[in-house]
Structure 1
Amino acid sequence: MLQLINHLPANVVGVRASGEVTRADMENVLLPAIDQLAEREGEINYLLVLDTNVQNFTLAAWWNDLKLGLKNFTKWNRIAVVSEQKGVEWFTDLFKFLIPGKSRGFTHDELSEAIVWVSGDGEQ
């Protein structure tokens, strides 16, 4: 399931992933929020908090994630992934080669730092 994270800076869309993440989650929660942010801000700052294993994303969810990335290809600015999973580090690093903008991984203890960084307030 994907849930929007409230009380983030206006230039950031954040979602918390828990349990199984499906195509419906992507289409009903993430895609509209990203589209609204891209239209409003002209760029995308995205915070993903993983409270589930990336293996819990269905194939259809991954497909929608790929379409999302391509649809807004030039608008990606910053991506912060918060997770305790060691395998997610390479995944976050992979973003650097697939899309423009910056990406960085954080632990759950660093969530506040991730929010500052993804919003651009920490300019690094």
Structure 2
Amino acid sequence: MIELLKDFPSNVVALSADGQVSREDYQKVVVPAVERAFNQHEKVRLYYKIGKDFTGIDIGAMWADTKVGMGHFFRWERIAVITDVDWIKHSVMAFGFLMPAQVNVYSIAEADDARKWISAT
């Protein structure tokens, strides 16, 4: 399940994922939030908190994630991934350099630091 987090600047799409993430989550939550942000801003930032209860992402959600990310590939400005899930941390650190955006990984305990960084002007 993915939920939209509130109280972030309008150029930040802030999400929290727990449990199993589905294609429906992307269609109902992620895609509308991302499209709304890109309609308002040339560059958009992503705050993505992945909780310890995260169990995975289904193939439909992976495809939707790829389409959303690649559809605006050069318009992402910053990406903060907040998680204590080791394989996600290591994957983002290993492949984050492929993104044209600045990508930082934070632990759950560092969520406030991530929020400050993603919101900074």
TM-score (norm 2): 0.91
Question: 1:32 matched to which residue of 2?
Answer: 32
Q: Please show how residues 41-120 of structure 1 align to structure 2 within 5 Å.
A: 41-51=41-51, 52-53=53-54, 55-93=55-93, 94-97=95-98, 99-120=99-120
CA distance in 2, matches of 1:56, 1:86: 13
Tell me the alpha carbon deviations over residues 67-91 of structure 1, each in whole angstroms, 9 at most, x when there is no partner: 1111111101111010001222222
Q: Distance in 1 between matches of 2:85 and 2:70?
A: 25
User: How far apart, CA to CA, are the structure 2 residues paired with 1:61 and 1:30?
Assistant: 10
TM-score calculated relative to the size of structure 1: 0.89
Mapped to 2, the partners of 1:4 and 1:50 lie a distance apart of 12
Aligned equivalents of 1:101, 1:66: Cα separation in 2: 15
Tell me the alpha carbon deviations over residues 84-106 of structure 1, each in whole angstroms, 9 at most, x when there is no partner: 01222222221321x21111100
Give me the identity figure in percent: 25
**Equivalent residue letter for 2:76:** W
Unaligned runs of 5+ in 2: none
Letter in 2 for 1:33: A
**After TM superposition, which residue ranges in structure 1, 4 or more long, deviate above 6 angstroms?**
none
Distance 2:59 2:47 in 1: 21
**Deviation at 1:34?**
0.7
Partner SS state of residue 9, structure 1:
coil
Greater strand proportion: 2
> How far, CA to CA, are the matches of 2:96 and 2:35 in structure 1?
19
Q: Aligned pairs, how many?
A: 119
SS in 2 for 1:79: strand
